[in-house]
Amino acid sequence: MGDKELLQQFRNPDTRNYAFNLLVREYQKKLYWHIRKILIDHDDTDDVLQNVFIKVWRGLDNFKEESQLYTWLYRIATNESITFLNQKKKRAGVPMDEVSHFLAANLESDHYFKGDEIQAKLQKAILTLPDKQRIVFNMKYFDEIKYEEMSQILDTSVGALKASYHHAVKKVEEYLKTH
């Protein structure tokens, strides 16, 4: 079912629940992994993902269709993840510049991380990046999202995203060389 049809069905009270169920099944994995790469921890990801879909449920009637549905969903997921991360850092009393240690500790204690040593090292390298740059790196390196789509999701110019990714690659490479 295309986005247009999905939205029509959602706006019909008789088929609203059915349409929403379809939407969740369609996008849950993509959004889950996008959030997981930001938050690392499964439980945190689960919390945020549920909040995202509840927000979607409440806000989908007002979705103006100026962008693709997928772009809108990703944007909500990104914003919710960053908000959650900042709140968690604040509660833990972690200074903003020491977040890499904080998240790396989460990585090591995560039961659902099954990577080998080199993967752990790569993830730690990625965690040294500032939050937004980390998101750009993950979206390009792992998800291979086009810069034009990323630009709509993150509300940043294509040029800025290319520069951000370029710098992120350099930093990750430097970390892998020195650790």
Which spans of this chain sit near another protein (rule: CB under 8 A)?
17, 20-21, 24-25, 28-29, 32-33, 36-37, 42, 46, 49-50, 53-54, 57, 110, 112-116, 118-120, 122-123, 141-142, 144, 166, 169-170, 172-173, 176-177
Q: Name which of 9 and 97 has its Cβ closer to another protein.
A: 9
Q: How far is the CB of 52 from another protein (least distance, A)?
A: 9
Q: How far is the CB of 119 from another protein (least distance, A)?
A: 4
Residue given tokens 């370029």 in the structure block? 166
Using a 10 angstrom Cβ sphere, with 0-12 exposed, 13-18 middle and 19 or more buried, the burial of residue 126 is buried
Q: How far is the CB of 11 from another protein (least distance, A)?
A: 15
Q: How far apart are CA 129 and CA 5, in angstroms?
A: 40
Q: How far is the CB of 79 from another protein (least distance, A)?
A: 18
171 is written with which tokens?
Answer: 């930093």
Q: How far apart are CA 103 and CA 63, in angstroms?
A: 34
Residues ≥6 apart with Cβ < 8 Å to 123: 40, 104, 107, 113, 115
Q: Name which of 108 and 155 has its Cβ closer to another protein.
A: 108
